[in-house]
Amino acid sequence: MSADKKRKIRVELRKNREKPARERDLTRQYLAGEEEETAAAIRQERVRAKGELSRRRTVVGEQPTATGGLPVLPAVDISHCLPGRVLRVQGLYSTVLTDDGRTFRCVVRKLLRDLSIDERHIVVTGDRVWIRPATAQEGSIERVEPRHGLLTRGAKGKEHIIAANVDQVVIVASLAEPILKPHLVDRYLVSAEKGQLRPIICFNKADLVDLVNYQWLIGMYSQLGIPVIPASARTGFGIDRLKELLKNRQTVFAGQSGVGKSSLLNAIQPGLQLKVREVSEATQKGRHTTTTAELIRLDFGAWVVDTPGIRQFMLWEIVPEELDGYFPEFRPFVALCQLPGCSHTHEQGCAVKEAVRLRQIPMQRYETYLGLRQGDTFE
């Protein structure tokens, strides 16, 4: 880091103490008398602030110029640190592959852990980082570089970044076992648009169905300019085409549990030996096999991220008034609506609704749009 870029930056840290989930010492509430009230008042008088108060700290570093990532880039001593990329995150430890080909098991620097952010995790799979080696195999992550190419979702009121610094997303859905969910595919497409990722749709388990019955679905997405690949990890159908789309790219594989993401990767590169499991016959839902997102280098010049299956995919920070912008087939008609700021749900003179009636916009896609406006989960 050049000296002219270094400066002191005030950053927000996580609150030191949070209010307990429930009120404690309920028995004391039954005690009456001035003695108890006086003692309680004394206990509340503190010289040092305590409670749900913000904490701040001055850090020497850079202010990120790009969106995405942490609010500060701490200064690092490059003579003692190594650049690398996060392969996986498991609990408190991250596996980092450095640019010189070594692998380190790293903890995250306390300053980074304490930063107040909207993300669930400070470090995610695919992050470019600087680490300080402690031994030949262990170290600490000192800095996380700004991110681009994100696949994210909302989880427990925070942003869950599934993978960072990738070029495209392969949205995997199964044509059988578990049941196909086009609305879930649409949610991934919205997230891909928001994260500036090129989407690819792979309909796996094509050997279990008659593809003629799904030509309408394949055609619907193909008309949006999205590559659509019917495939079978078991028979090898469609694998060569999928492999071509991965070459010299960095791709995240995403989809619900049981659709065969790991099986497809095993078919693309024999010998990868990722764990797979069968779909439950009772519930027709996939069983979690992949437990954490993992960045994998393939032999033919590609990087892929294998991710855990997700049954619900909540979008993160999508403004309802801007939702139509994530549906490319809506765009030619939005400007033709009679009312400015038309929601395309109930207004008279809505060009989008008229396009749906004339089958210029697929009804299935419009139903997804309405569900997102209403906050449906489409599990």
Beta-carbon contacts of 252 under 8 Å, excluding residues fewer than 6 positions away, are 126, 151, 162, 163, 166, 168, 169, 170, 197, 293, 304, 305, 307
- Please tell me whether 266 is known to bind a ligand: no
Please report where in the chains the tokens 């109930």 appear, as a residue: 346
- Please tell me whether 106 is known to bind a ligand: no
- Please tell me whether 219 is known to bind a ligand: no
- Please tell me whether 342 is known to bind a ligand: yes
Q: What are phi and psi of 119, to 5 degrees?
A: -75, 150
As a whole number of angstroms, the distance between CA 367 and CA 183 comes to 8
- Please tell me whether 191 is known to bind a ligand: no
As a whole number of angstroms, the distance between CA 254 and CA 190 comes to 13
- Please tell me whether 337 is known to bind a ligand: yes
- Please tell me whether 353 is known to bind a ligand: no
Question: Do residues 206 and 238 make contact, with C-beta atoms less than 8 angstroms apart?
Answer: yes
- Please tell me whether 256 is known to bind a ligand: yes
Helix (H) or strand (E) holding 39: helix 34-44
- Please tell me whether 186 is known to bind a ligand: no
Question: Cα–Cα distances in Å, from 111 out to 59, 96, 140, 234, 255?
Answer: 9, 19, 11, 47, 34
- Please tell me whether 259 is known to bind a ligand: yes
- Please tell me whether 232 is known to bind a ligand: no
- Please tell me whether 81 is known to bind a ligand: no
177 CB-side CA count, 13 A: 13
- Please tell me whether 158 is known to bind a ligand: no
Q: Summarize the annotated binding site for GTP as residue ranges.
A: 204-207, 255-263
Q: Summarize the annotated binding site for Zn(2+) as residue ranges.
A: 337, 342, 344, 350
Q: Summarize the annotated binding site as residue ranges.
A: 204-207, 255-263, 337, 342, 344, 350
